[in-house]
Amino acid sequence: MSGIKKGNIMPSFSLPDQNGEIFNIDTILGQKNLVLFFYPFDESPGCTREVCYFRDLYETFRELNAEVVGISGQSVESHRNFAGKYELPYRILSDENNKVKKLLGVPNSFFGMIPGRVTYIVGTDKKIVHVFNSQNKPERHVDEALKVLFVLSGLSGVTNNNKS
């Protein structure tokens, strides 16, 4: 499965968010930078660390004119519970049929058994400026996104992630 790559235009799509409302990605594309991250499962230890780290640095993303959006294949109800439990300030979208996962070419990992963990950073020109694909160290997705956004903004920022 070949996926979208750096330099490609982010395609349009709509999915329900954790509140059951249909969210169209075009409401962000071209207006703000976008950090779109795919994570395997609500409530798994690595995914929980990742979404909470995005939560903890959410205001920094906003200051960099970026919106954060998470996607995984669990139901709206699962996402509602997950987002509520961890007080997530951003949307997480339900891709139960893997429509968007397939559209973007997000691969599975571990012999195809676990949904992939991939983060896309999209500039205000709707072009993908960075793709980060790694199951290991989920928090690194946040650090990678911030590093790219600091470069896009012309600032020099350093995150302090001592997690292992």
The catalytic site residues sit at 47
Give dist(CA 120, CA 145) in Å, integer. 8
Give dist(CA 37, CA 135) in Å, integer. 12
Contact indicator for 125, 99 with CB cutoff of 8 Å: no
Give dist(CA 8, CA 21) in Å, integer. 27
> 108 forms bridges with which residues in the sheet?
none
Q: What angle do CA 156, 48, 100 make, to 5 degrees?
A: 80
